[in-house]
Structure 1
Amino acid sequence: MKKILFVLMAACFVWAAYDYTRPVDRYVVKVTAADGDTLWHLVGGVMSQEGDRRDVREVIHYAREISNIKGTLQPGDVILIPIEVRR
């Protein structure tokens, strides 16, 4: 039983090391807010469409910074969403 557990753990470590070394495509998606849109909805939708698997809260934080959004989202605001996708 210990040998099986050891083999499984080793396989997990090898997979994690492989996943960490894969190249990452980084780019920005530009979205314009409409009436009733929220950052959570816009960022989450773009992330899911593009295949970004990071935490949506992290990406919302960076989107607020690079888009210079201080308060609530207004219709017509341009949001820049940083995307990271592993190949």
Structure 2
Amino acid sequence: MKKILIAILAACCVWAAYDYSRPVDRYVVKVTAAEGDTLWHLVGGVMDSEGDRRDVREVIFWTRKISNIKGDLQPGDIVLIPIEVRK
């Protein structure tokens, strides 16, 4: 039983090292907010379509920072969404 657990742990470590070493494409997607849009909706939709697997809350945080969004999202606001996709 101990040998199986050690083998599983080693396989997990190898997989994590492989996943961490894969190259990452980083870019910004520019979106214009429409009536009724929320950051959660815009960021989540772009992340899904682009294949970004990070936590949406983290991306919303960085989106607010780089887009200089202080309060609520207004129609016509330009939203810059930072995307990271592993190859």
TM-score, normalized by the shorter chain, greater than 0.5: yes
One-letter code aligned to 1:36: G
User: Any residues of structure 2 matched to 1:1-87 within 5 Å, and which?
Assistant: 1-87=1-87
1:4 deviates by 0.7
User: Which aligned segments of 4 or more residues in structure 1 are displaced greater than 3 angstroms?
Assistant: none
1:42 deviates by 0.3
Which TM-score applies when normalising by structure 2? 0.98
One-letter code aligned to 1:49: S
Distance in 1, Cα, partners of 2:48 & 2:5? 34
1:31 deviates by 0.4
One-letter code aligned to 2:41: H
One-letter code aligned to 2:85: V
Which TM-score applies when normalising by structure 1? 0.98
| Unmatched 5+ stretches in structure 1 | none
User: What secondary structure is seen at the aligned counterpart in 2 of 1:58?
Assistant: helix
What is the root-mean-square deviation in Å for CA atoms of aligned residues? 0.5
1:49 deviates by 0.7
User: What secondary structure is seen at the aligned counterpart in 2 of 1:59?
Assistant: helix
1:33 deviates by 0.5
Count of aligned residue pairs for this structure pair: 87
One-letter code aligned to 1:3: K
Distance in 2, Cα, partners of 1:77 & 1:3? 57
State the identity %.
Answer: 80
One-letter code aligned to 1:29: V
